[in-house]
Amino acid sequence: MKYIDRFKAFRTPCYYYDIELLEKTLNTIVKSASKYPNFHVHYAVKANANPRILGLISSYGLGADCVSGNEVLRALQCGFPASGIVYAGVGKSDREIEAALRNDIFCFNCESLPEIEVINEIAGNLGKKAKIAIRVNPNVDAHTHAYITTGLEENKFGIYLTDLDRVIDQAMTFPNIEVIGLHFHIGSQITDLNVFKALAERVNEIQDSLEARGIVLPNVNLGGGLGIDYNSPYSEPVANFEGYFDTIAKYLRPRPGQQVHFEPGRSVVAHCGDLIARVLYVKEGKKKFAILDAGMSDLIRPALYQAYHNIENITSESNETELYDVVGPICESSDCFGKDVELKKTKRGDMVILHSAGAYGEVMASEYNLRDLPSIYYSK
């Protein structure tokens, strides 16, 4: 751990971003996607909306995938062109729709007929034509945590396959709506590329059946979901983008001239961010607790999804290891980062890293218990 001396000066808890690693990741994305000229990558802003991070991502020519009016505005402020912005979400408010229309974003990913009706009306009032993609719930199992699975019929997302024909036909009748594509997203933290193969094959079937009815749309968007290896932050710091894009290229059959869009979030930023904390106390009872100055208000993923983050004591000079429950200071039993975590023998003042926290970390931090938001540092 080469940065320890620098870390010692940090005010904790803090997020630390390895900008060189983010650059390496972005280079890999651009290189592996550009093999396929019809592939377009829109970074999912929800994973990390830190302006410095967004500025770097936009400078590599990626578009943005947004899920709120404020994300659209933030993306524009951080250099993403409106022509590369897609905007999704089951519950877009009138105000958000209007702001996105005024800024002429590329496409709304729409999730219901009532929403399309409202977009049609607002676009009409503004004298605009809204470009939309219809989000389809393809009923493909992402084999991931229930809270981040979205492509099954029991989820609230998208239009069911059985309703698709009716919804598309009706959407095409609205005067201020142009249906330009289909949108899919089946879940997050998908590490088995066969799941993306299954998605591509389902999309082929859906497009075949639409084509048989004379409907061919110029865009198809496969969403995000590519997972990362939370177990090996050092050995696998860049996600398998090449395997991902190659899998889609191999199994998806785009229609002639059709553009293929992606919305990766986690895989872009997870590994470049770590949460760094200090040990406040080691409490010994039936178990040993390492109580950190960071809690679920700084990183909620373990409490909310039982998510695993690799935890490392970077300052202990002990050769012995012990098992600790690593917990935060917040008045909730779920404020626990890991049970029976093997750490070097730990004492008050030691610095601990929770690895791979760059995605859905800082952006989900809160002031619960009126705690300060975490500090932020960058490698350069």
| Residue 373, strand partner residues | none
- Residues within the interface to ligand LLP (CB under 6 A): 44, 47, 65, 88, 148, 150, 185, 188-189, 223-226, 263-267, 301, 305, 360
Place of tokens 């770590």: 274
Query: Which H or E run contains 296?
Result: none
Question: Would you call 14 helix, strand, or coil by DSSP?
Answer: strand
Q: Closer to ligand LLP by CB, 7 or 184: give it.
A: 184
Nearer to ligand LLP, 148 or 376 (CB): 148
Residue 235: CB atoms within 10 A of its CB come to 7
Closest CA to 227 of 238, 215, 216: 238
Q: In this complex, which beta carbon is closest to ligand LLP, that of residue 148 or of residue 280?
A: 148
Residue 47 or residue 203: which is nearer to ligand LLP going by CB?
47
Helix (H, G, I), strand (E, B) or coil at 44: strand
Please list, in sequence order, all residues whose beta carbon lies within 8 angstroms of the beta carbon of residue 16, skipping any fewer than 6 positions away. Answer: 7, 10, 273, 274, 275, 276, 377, 378, 379
Task: Report in angstroms how near the CB of residue 175 gets to ligand LLP at its nearest.
Answer: 27
CB of 321 to ligand LLP, least distance (A): 28
Nearer to ligand LLP, 119 or 291 (CB): 119
Helix 161-171 to helix 193-212 angle, to the nearest 10 degrees? 50
CB of 227 to ligand LLP, least distance (A): 7
Using an 8 Å Cβ cutoff, are 32 and 242 in contact?
yes
In the complex with ligand LLP, the residue whose CB is nearer, 13 or 361, is: 361
- Number of Cβ within 10 Å of residue 126's Cβ equals 14
Q: What is the DSSP letter of 373?
A: P
Q: How far is CA 52 from CA 45, 46, 56, 86, 180, in A?
A: 12, 14, 6, 20, 32
**Least distance from ligand LLP to the Cβ atom of residue 95, Å:** 21
Q: Which is nearer to ligand LLP, 89 or 254 (CB)?
A: 89
Q: Of 16 and 87, which has the nearer Cβ to ligand LLP? A: 87
**Where do the DSSP E strands lie in 272-335?**
273-284, 288-292, 311-313, 321-327
In the complex, the smallest distance separating the C-beta of residue 58 from ligand LLP, rounded to whole angstroms, is 17
Torsion of CA 285, 287, 288, 291, to 10 degrees: -90
Q: What one-letter code names the amino acid at 342?
A: E
Q: How far is the CB of 273 from ligand LLP (least distance, A)?
A: 12
Minimum distance between the CB of residue 183 and ligand LLP, rounded to whole angstroms?
7
- CB 61 → ligand LLP: shortest distance, Å? 18
